[in-house]
Amino acid sequence: MQKEQSRISYNGIQNGGLVKPPVFIPRVIPRSPSVPSLQNDRSFNALNASDPMLNRPLFEDSTKLTPSNKTRLEPDFNPSPVQGSPSTIGGNSNLSVIDMYGDDTESQMASEESDDSPRTNSYTPINEISDNSNIIDDKNIPQLMHRLSLSDTTNKTNNEDNDDEYHKQPIPKSPRVNISSKDAENFDRYGFKKQTTYITEQEYDVWWKEYYQYCNRRKNKWIQLMEKYDLSTKDESIRRFPPKSEKLKRYVRKGIPAEWRGNAWWYFANGQQLLDENPSTYPQLLSKIDHIETLPDKETKYPDLEIIERDLNRTFPDNIHFQRESFQNTEPEMIKSLRRVLVAFSLYNTKIGYCQSMNFLAGLLLLFLDEEKSFWMLVLLTSKYLPGVHNVNLEGVNIDQGVLMLCVQEYLPAIWEYVVPSEKSNTNKTNLNKLMNSRFTPNHSHNKDPKNEFLFKLPPVTLCTASWFMSCFVGVLPIEVTLRIWDCLFYEGSHFLFKVSLGILKLSEGELLKGKHSNSLTHYTLNGNQNKERLNNPEENEMELFQIVQSFPKKILNPNDIFEKIIFKKRITFNNLDQDEIDRCRKYVTEQRQKHIPLSDNKKSLSHTNINDNSNSERSVSSQIGESGYKSLNVQKSKTMKQEHKSDEQLSGSQSEGYGFKRSITSVNWNSGLKQRVRQIRSKKD
Amino acid sequence: MLQFKLVLLGDSSVGKSSIVNRFVKDSFDEFRESTIGAAFLSQTVTINDNDSDVAQEITVKFEIWDTAGQERYKSLAPMYYRNANAALVVYDITQADSLEKARSWVQELKNKVDDDSLVIYLVGNKIDLVSNNNDDQDKRAVERSVAETYAEENNLLFSEVSAKTGEGIKQVFQSIAENLYQIRKKQDTTNINSTQRGNAPVDIHLQRPSTNDSTSCCS
């Protein structure tokens, strides 16, 4: 069988002397807990071409399921009884998660000419292979077997035997839960509950009816593009994408087809390279986890385990794949996968260990990618895209918030007034200020303070925006919006997070002004004559801003509210931000903050960085990341390089002054570096 | 109306967000998403002032800052508790460690917040896990008396509650409000504003405690 071959070749690498004999037994890795068969590249076979998205039953409208389309029995789909997975939820009438993608999308594939114009059409779904689930499942290691191999030490000492064992064992089917047709009404295509505190189910259904048409049209466009490059367009066999181009960027920005997402992220983030360079890392980490599980003092030795445990059931409690109903005796497979990925990561990168918010990152990845790939994507997210953000001292977060604040100051002056009250309005309110012990003392925060003190004394709104970065907007925005952002994040880089943040803040400008005019917060104050003051009261403004920034994004149901109104608009100046600018800005903020953070603080935060039992794993982190050529903006590292900074020519200009954003030559505002250079040239001439 | 800033502190998953959710929305979810960063909510309570010449009802508005519990978020904490009037330090009565974390929070507050009038309330959450029947008694990992003694020694308010059943939640905030009101009144009388005595309480902005922590905010 193809699959066996693939596994043999995998083990062949292990045992063929290319890799030194592993200390820990390489284990076969549980495969995708959720999404239809995203196959291991190394073992791709024809069966993988099954196309769940195209195969699923068709129905007109998610709210109107007819019996014929909502009942798709998948006898092979259920996990083995040993697993006790809640496959029987909803009785016999089950929809797989694949079906959840539903809503007869592909049957209405769309237009060629115009990108987004609605179309009726006649795309015929490819109906080749019945069910993808057997394929993924092959790769799944049942918990039972997991335990068997643990108790059986002879297995542990012999790879090949072990591998054979795997084949003898009954292989469980996909850990995905089946979703009853009843649930399909309440949950979206990824298993998230449609209704939230801010969005009703009805609102969701109305919007989705439109949006899924949009998704169809986009997918059709994608198919055409892929065909141009002779690339596969079958959902499950997509490995490669066209070379980067403006056109592809536009396509990505308009949304990658949901069924391709996992593979597209993997491709654009260049995850395969990392996996190819470290084929045995994840299996070894899993073996190590097995080993740790047997230790009596594991909790004191590995404090992250306990913290991870606490967060498992607090990750997407409203998602059907993560949900644990009270009547369930065993936990969902998804939770088991999540545990493995997070624990493996905490062992792999001890500098980070486990940081709350990574549960959401890993959780979302697991909905789209298999476990091992999710693990590597988490590695990439925390090193390449969000360097230092999840480190023990969270300095990376503070740096990114400093960068964001600089951007707000530069691009969103109206919001900036709320974030850091301007000098002018402060002087008008001296008396008031004397009476107040403002949270953000205005004396420290001149609007155009060249020293940018707000960079190390971050304004309170950053307590909210920090979570945007830590979880990459998971849980901050409705899921479809978040996914569109992730599409761009992996294609364009981390600067996109800043763009989107600015976009959200810009959208909330309207909300802020609304609040101001309607005096909606008058009840904050005692009596009428304080209302006037309230409007100029920095602290009240701060709270108002915080509340809006905290809740407003959750109401943005339609991704195109951000993309079409903000991201695609060329006249919006912050759309000129590029990765280079953000990297430069991050560097600047890092340096500014270092000037003001007492050294003792650094030491303190570093001292409890590692509960490191395995220096190997740490070394492997840096070497692997390094070898892959990522210029990880490692905060810790840059601290030690403090002295080298002075020689950094590129930055010398901005170090002494405020940060200068790149601007076009025709712009009235020149950046400070340019100004200096012009002055120099002039003085030479003189 | 009086307005106070209240901050919730404590180890992760002791039930900080659940307590706020019970107080603000009177609801409870078995599994809540972990709090990342901070959440801001507000809620009012009404207290009676019977000491005044004329008995009166006073509305107290709480600005509540709910925080992430994991150790590493501690560096962000000064941003929350700066200018706080009250702190709710929460532990889980089924987790012995969580009381230790609570103690360290109390210590941090006492060291970093230079304000005697800061009201600190120690709350043991999750009594629903032990109070239902005797079989569950062994789930309790922190004896009430231990926490109570610690609270007395350190001049903290104390009670055990359940965010799940709602038991004791309202009373916690009620009692904080009353304490803050008494403090405010005392400060008020020592202030020059004698004319305001017997009238509505002064504007909250007049007296905000401050911190002596020069590195406060996030470092």
- Judged by a CB distance cut-off of 8 A, whether residue B73 touches chain A is yes
Do B208 and A436 lie within an 8 Å CB cutoff? Answer: yes
Do B12 and A311 lie within an 8 Å CB cutoff? Answer: yes
- pLDDT value for A514: 78
- pLDDT value for A30: 61
Q: Is residue A379 part of a domain?
A: no
- Judged by a CB distance cut-off of 8 A, whether residue A522 touches chain B is no
d(CA A595, CA A456): 9
Predicted confidence band of residue A536 (pLDDT cuts 50, 70, 90): low
Residue of chain B with shortest Cα separation from A359: B34
- pLDDT value for A299: 86
Beta strands in B25-149 (DSSP E): 38-49, 56-67, 86-92, 119-125
Q: Is residue A291 part of a domain?
A: no
Chain B nearest-CA distance from A543, in A, is 9
Average pLDDT value for residue range A343-358:
97
- pLDDT value for A409: 94
- Judged by a CB distance cut-off of 8 A, whether residue B114 touches chain A is no
Do A314 and B38 lie within an 8 Å CB cutoff? Answer: no
Do A316 and B33 lie within an 8 Å CB cutoff? Answer: yes
Best residue in A382, A393, A398, A439 to probe B by mutation, most B CBs within 10 Å? A439
- Judged by a CB distance cut-off of 8 A, whether residue A467 touches chain B is yes
- B residues 1-20 closer than 8 Å to A (CB): 1, 3, 12-13
- Judged by a CB distance cut-off of 8 A, whether residue A435 touches chain B is yes
Q: Is residue A307 part of a domain?
A: no
Do B36 and A457 lie within an 8 Å CB cutoff? Answer: no
**Total domains present in chain A:** 2
Chain B nearest-CA distance from A457, in A, is 6
Q: Is residue A283 part of a domain?
A: no
Chain A nearest-CA distance from B25, in A, is 12
Task: Give yes or no for a contact between A54 and A235, defined as CB atoms under 8 angstroms apart.
Answer: yes
d(CA A616, CA A620): 6
- pLDDT value for A264: 97
d(CA A512, CA A504): 12
Best residue in B2, B7, B30, B31 to probe A by mutation, most A CBs within 10 Å? B31
| A307, A316, A525: residue with CB nearest B70 | A307
- pLDDT of B177 over the 80 cut: yes
- pLDDT of A387 over the 60 cut: yes
d(CA A105, CA A260): 14
Q: What angle in degrees, to the nearest 10, is found between the helix axes of B144-153 and B96-112?
A: 10
- A residues 358-377 closer than 8 Å to B (CB): 359-360
Do B218 and A398 lie within an 8 Å CB cutoff? Answer: yes
Instruction: Determine which of A185-194, A340-349, A371-380, A424-433 has the lowest per-residue pLDDT on average.
Output: A424-433
The string of pLDDT tens digits covering residues A202-217 is 999 999 999 999 999 9
- pLDDT of A466 over the 70 cut: yes
Do B208 and A437 lie within an 8 Å CB cutoff? Answer: yes
Give the distance, in angstroms, between the CA of residue B21 and the centroid of all CA atoms in the same chain: 14
- pLDDT value for A301: 92
- pLDDT value for A452: 78
Query: What ranges do the domains of chain B cover?
Result: 2-189
Task: Give yes or no for a contact between A683 and A669, defined as CB atoms under 8 angstroms apart.
Answer: no
Q: Is residue A336 part of a domain?
A: no
Predicted confidence band of residue A99 (pLDDT cuts 50, 70, 90): very low
The string of pLDDT tens digits covering residues B99-158 is 999 999 999 999 998 888 999 999 999 999 996 566 656 789 999 999 999 999 999 999
Q: Is residue A71 part of a domain?
A: yes
Q: How far apart are the first and last CA of chain B?
A: 34
**Residue finishing a domain among A245, A268, A291:** A268
Do B72 and A530 lie within an 8 Å CB cutoff? Answer: no
**DSSP-derived 3-state class of residue A477:** strand
Q: What is the CATH number of domain B2-189?
A: 3.40.50.300
Best residue in B32, B125, B192, B205 to probe A by mutation, most A CBs within 10 Å? B205
Chain B residue numbers with beta carbons less than 8 Å from the beta carbon of A394 are: 72-73, 75-76, 218
- Judged by a CB distance cut-off of 8 A, whether residue B132 touches chain A is no
Kindly tell me the sign of the dihedral angle through the C-alpha atoms of B212, B215, B218, B219. Answer: negative
Chain B residue numbers with beta carbons less than 8 Å from the beta carbon of A456 are: 217, 219
Do B72 and A316 lie within an 8 Å CB cutoff? Answer: no
Residue of chain B with shortest Cα separation from A545: B40
The string of pLDDT tens digits covering residues B67-94 is 999 989 988 888 888 889 999 999 999 9
Residue A535 structural domain: 386-686
**Residue finishing a domain among A244, A268, A292:** A268
Predicted confidence band of residue A392 (pLDDT cuts 50, 70, 90): very high
Please give the model's pTM, rounded to 2 decimal places: 0.73
Best residue in A313, A314, A393, A431 to probe B by mutation, most B CBs within 10 Å? A314
Chain A residue numbers with beta carbons less than 8 Å from the beta carbon of B35 are: 356
Q: Which residues of B121-154 are buried (b: 16+ CB within 10 A; e: fewer)?
A: bbbbbbbbebbeeeeeeeebebeeeebbebbeee
Task: Give yes or no for a contact between A426 and A442, defined as CB atoms under 8 angstroms apart.
Answer: yes
- All residues at 6 or more sequence positions from B129 whose CB lies less than 8 Å from its CB, including other chains: B93, B94, B136, B139, B140
- A residues 294-323 closer than 8 Å to B (CB): 307, 310-311, 313-317
- All residues at 6 or more sequence positions from B198 whose CB lies less than 8 Å from its CB, including other chains: B52, B53, B54
Chain A residue numbers with beta carbons less than 8 Å from the beta carbon of B69 are: 356
Residue of A61 and A560 predicted with greater confidence? A560
Residue of A82 and A498 predicted with greater confidence? A498
**Residue finishing a domain among A223, A240, A268:** A268
Chain A nearest-CA distance from B158, in A, is 25
Chain A nearest-CA distance from B47, in A, is 16
Q: What is the mean pLDDT of chain A?
A: 69
Q: Which residues of A531-557 are buried (b: 16+ CB within 10 A; e: fewer)?
A: eeebeebbbbbbbbbbbbbbbbbbbbb
Chain B nearest-CA distance from A316, in A, is 7
The string of pLDDT tens digits covering residues A6-35 is 333 333 333 333 334 334 444 566 665 554
DSSP state of B164: T
- All residues at 6 or more sequence positions from B13 whose CB lies less than 8 Å from its CB, including other chains: A310, A311, A314, B34, B69, B92
Q: Is residue A347 part of a domain?
A: no
Residue A571 sits at φ, ψ, to 5 deg, of: -75, -15
pLDDT over 70 percentage in chain A = 54
How does strand B86-92 pair with strand B56-67? unpaired
**DSSP-derived 3-state class of residue A481:** helix
**Six-digit token pair at A10?**
């995998």
- A residues 602-641 closer than 8 Å to B (CB): 605
Q: Is residue A658 part of a domain?
A: yes
Predicted confidence band of residue A686 (pLDDT cuts 50, 70, 90): low
**DSSP-derived 3-state class of residue A300:** helix
pLDDT over 90 percentage in chain A = 44
Average pLDDT value for residue range A410-425:
80
| B1, B72, B200: residue with CB nearest A394 | B72
Instruction: Determine which of A48-52, A651-655, B170-174, B175-179 has the lowest per-residue pLDDT on average.
Output: A48-52
Task: Give yes or no for a contact between B45 and B177, defined as CB atoms under 8 angstroms apart.
Answer: yes
d(CA A241, CA A598): 48
- Judged by a CB distance cut-off of 8 A, whether residue B171 touches chain A is no
Chain B nearest-CA distance from A578, in A, is 26
Out of A80-84, A150-154, A429-433, the most confident range is A429-433
User: Nearest 10 degrees: CA dihedral of A28, A382, B36, A267?
Assistant: -70
- pLDDT value for B138: 75
The string of pLDDT tens digits covering residues B26-82 is 999 999 999 998 999 999 999 998 876 778 899 999 999 999 999 899 888 888 888
- Judged by a CB distance cut-off of 8 A, whether residue A595 touches chain B is no
Do A524 and B61 lie within an 8 Å CB cutoff? Answer: yes
d(CA A520, CA A642): 48
Residue of chain B with shortest Cα separation from A437: B208
- Judged by a CB distance cut-off of 8 A, whether residue B192 touches chain A is no
DSSP state of A460: T
Q: Which residues pair with B64 in a beta bridge?
A: B6, B41
- pLDDT of B210 over the 60 cut: no
- Judged by a CB distance cut-off of 8 A, whether residue A343 touches chain B is no
- pLDDT of B216 over the 90 cut: no
CB atoms near residue A653 (< 10 Å): 17
Average pLDDT value for residue range A491-499:
97
Residue of B134 and A239 predicted with greater confidence? A239
Average pLDDT value for residue range B189-216:
49
The string of pLDDT tens digits covering residues A642-665 is 434 433 434 444 444 678 888 754
Same domain, A232 and A88: yes
Best residue in A306, A310, A501 to probe B by mutation, most B CBs within 10 Å? A310
Residue of chain A with shortest Cα separation from B29: A317
Residue B47 sits at φ, ψ, to 5 deg, of: -125, 160
d(CA A315, CA A323): 9
- pLDDT of A534 over the 70 cut: no
* Interface contacts A/B by beta carbons within 8 Å: 113
- pLDDT of B12 over the 50 cut: yes
Do B208 and A463 lie within an 8 Å CB cutoff? Answer: no
Do A324 and B31 lie within an 8 Å CB cutoff? Answer: yes
- Judged by a CB distance cut-off of 8 A, whether residue A532 touches chain B is no
The string of pLDDT tens digits covering residues A616-627 is 333 333 333 333
How far CA B100 is from CA of A146, B11, B14, B141, in Å, comes to: 36, 9, 12, 12
